[in-house]
Structure 1
Amino acid sequence: MRTNHQIKVEQQSEDEDKFVFDVSVEGDRSSSHAVTVDKDYYKKLTDGEEPAGNLVKRSFKFLLQREPQSAILSEFNLSLIQEYFSEYESKLKN
């Protein structure tokens, strides 16, 4: 049976090139993650039509459907997901 994960996303900073988020996941265990989202990548996936934090949350839901919570890196750039899961961008694009 799958664990029902609670995902909390908080924006820590933003500059002209990127957003930085702290993400906490509560499930079988607690975990914290530092996630960077390049603005160009954010626009590629969302056309700027949703808050970047929503994209991060949807990305964590995507990951948790495919791997255990313990396998998610503690710090990563969101674009890295595509390297591990080739369907990521097509599933997340608006």
Structure 2
Amino acid sequence: MLEITKRNQNEFTVIVAGKGDKRQYIVSLDDDYYYLLTQGTISKEELIRKSFQFLLERESKESILSKFNLKVIKGYFPEFEEEIAKEV
């Protein structure tokens, strides 16, 4: 289960729950990167949801950084932007 809460315009709390435990993350997403990935067709919350689904298909929730900017995902997974573009 994914729960996403807006902290401010560019920062979100994400909770990933499953198998009796949950993890909390702080994710930042600036407007420029948001528009680059989505052209504004989905909300920032939905982009973060899709990004976490992408991450969780590739690694455990324990391996995800507890605080990060969405831009760093492409440094670990070069295919990230291309895969997200297919989803929006």
Q: For 1:86 and 1:27, how far apart are their aligned partners in 2?
A: 27
TM-score (normalizing by structure 2): 0.93
Once the 2 structures are TM-superposed, how far is the Cα of residue 91 of structure 1 from its aligned partner?
A: 0.6
Query: Which of these residues, 82, 86, 89, is aligned with residue 81 of structure 2?
Result: 89
In the alignment, structure 1 segments of 5+ residues that lack a partner are 1-5
TM-score (normalizing by structure 1): 0.88
CA RMSD of aligned residues (A): 0.7
Q: For 2:5 and 2:16, how far apart are their aligned partners in 1?
A: 12
Paired position in structure 1 for 2:36: 44
Tell me which stretches of 4 or more aligned residues in structure 1 moved more than 2 Å: none
In the alignment, structure 2 segments of 5+ residues that lack a partner are none
Larger CA deviation: 22-31 vs 75-84 = 22-31
Query: Which of these residues, 15, 19, 23, is aligned with residue 14 of structure 2?
Result: 23
Equivalent AA in structure 2 for residue 10 of structure 1: T
Paired position in structure 2 for 1:53: 45
1:8-39, CA deviations, whole angstroms, 9 ceiling, x for partnerless residues? 0011101xxxx100000001331000000011
Q: Percent of counterpart pairs with the same letter?
A: 36
